[in-house]
Amino acid sequence: MAVKKKPLLVVISSPSGTGKTTICKKILKKHPQYVRSVSFTTRERRKGEVNGRDYHFVNKDRFEKMKKRKQFAEWACVYGNYYGTPKRSIEKAKRQNKTLIMVIDVQGGSAIKRLYPESVLIFMLPPSLGELKRRLKIRATNKKDDLEKRLKSALKEISFWSNYDYVLVNSDLNQTVRDVENIISAEKRKAKRFDINIWGRGQDKWRG
């Protein structure tokens, strides 16, 4: 019997500051056989970020050229900065039968689902509105307008939760990591993700 597993595309989305990037890093550390799609972005690099590992940091001109060449599976503008998922990383993972994790916003999640219906979408919620405000305040500039803009954007993203396959509340980081691991494990075992030849090589003559 010949058994071949199909690749798995996983999208993780959440409002800013909910922990999706941290969770993704922990999962990749525990499961080095998984790969992460590294997005392109025009935003400034944050302290500790490495070009090519966290993001591909590019200027707007290069990003626009990539858009025109249709090199992105999806792209979006978030807080005035552009983000895009390169098609090449998805196609490479599919060729190699890898589990690919994409950390992208809700616009991107919807676009990926349209292009790749077999993908699995996971949405993460903050434990409470108060906790969301606290985390956004850390990321916001000193301007009150920036905090309000981020909160408004976060609430808009949350309104798309029902478009996702799974919803998790990230109140405990380690538990959320386990939950994502369990989702991936279960999805990889679904019958639709297998190509099975029950006859095996050289036994086609028995097919009736």
Q: Percent of the chain having pLDDT more than 70?
A: 89
**CA distance linking residue 22 with residue 112, whole number of Å:** 21
Domains of the chain: residue spans and CATH: 2-199 (3.40.50.300)
Query: Which pLDDT belongs to residue 96?
Result: 92
User: Model confidence over 130-183: pLDDT tens digits?
Assistant: 888 888 887 766 566 678 888 888 999 999 999 999 999 999 999 999 999 999
Mean pLDDT of 87-93: 95
Kindly list the strands in the beta sheet with 8-13, ordered across the sheet, starting from the edge strand earlier in the chain. Answer: 35-36, 99-103, 8-13, 120-125, 166-169
Tell me, letter by letter, the H, E, C secondary structure of 129-176. HHHHHHHHHHHCCCCHHHHHHHHHHHHHHHCCHHHCCEEEECCCHHHH
Query: Which pLDDT belongs to residue 28?
Result: 97
Residue 67 structure tokens? 């858009």
Whole-model pTM: value is 0.85
Query: Which pLDDT belongs to residue 148?
Result: 83
Nearest CA among 28, 30, 80, 73 for reference residue 54: 28
Q: Is the pLDDT of residue 25 over 70?
A: yes
Q: Is the pLDDT of residue 120 over 90?
A: yes
